[in-house]
Amino acid sequence: MRRGWGGLALVAMATALSGCVAVYGDNSGIHVARVDPQDVAERATTGAIAGAALGTGLGSVFAINPAIGAVVGVESGAVIGAGIGALTAQPIPDYAPISVPTNAVIPSYYDTAPPGNHVAPLAVQVPPPPPG
């Protein structure tokens, strides 16, 4: 029984570390979704905590002996929760960078402004106050 849980923990750890390997070339036909290792660790920890809590509750409710059910439930729930948490990590975005254009993005929008870096006179911007 322990050997099986150890194997599942090993698979979960290998899945968590899969984001650290290099991406295969384009000619191999294999696409690996790279993930952030810190995100995987956070999700595995959160999944282990949630799985342990859920496993304890379910194990103590459905077992003949609630104490043994809670112990078995916390072990299996933590391992399964960590594996699910590691498998649900978000992949790193994989897209080409966007080049910044050298010309103005909105053509002829700033063409009417006078040259220089000065502010327009105050009287041009604010209307006079009403009389009285």
Tens of pLDDT, residue by residue over 89-122, are 888 877 787 887 776 666 666 566 666 666 666 5
Q: Stretch 34-48: mean pLDDT, rounded?
A: 90
CB atoms within 10 A of CB 16: 22
Is the residue at 103 inside a domain? no
Question: Using an 8 Å Cβ cutoff, are 17 and 59 in contact?
Answer: no
Classified as helix, coil or strand, 5 is: helix
Q: How many domains does the chain have?
A: 1
Is the residue at 112 inside a domain? no
Question: What is the reported pLDDT for 93?
Answer: 79
Is the residue at 79 inside a domain? yes
Tell me which residue range forms the domain holding 10: 2-21+32-87
Classified as helix, coil or strand, 91 is: strand
Query: What's this model's pTM, rounded to 2 decimal places?
Result: 0.52
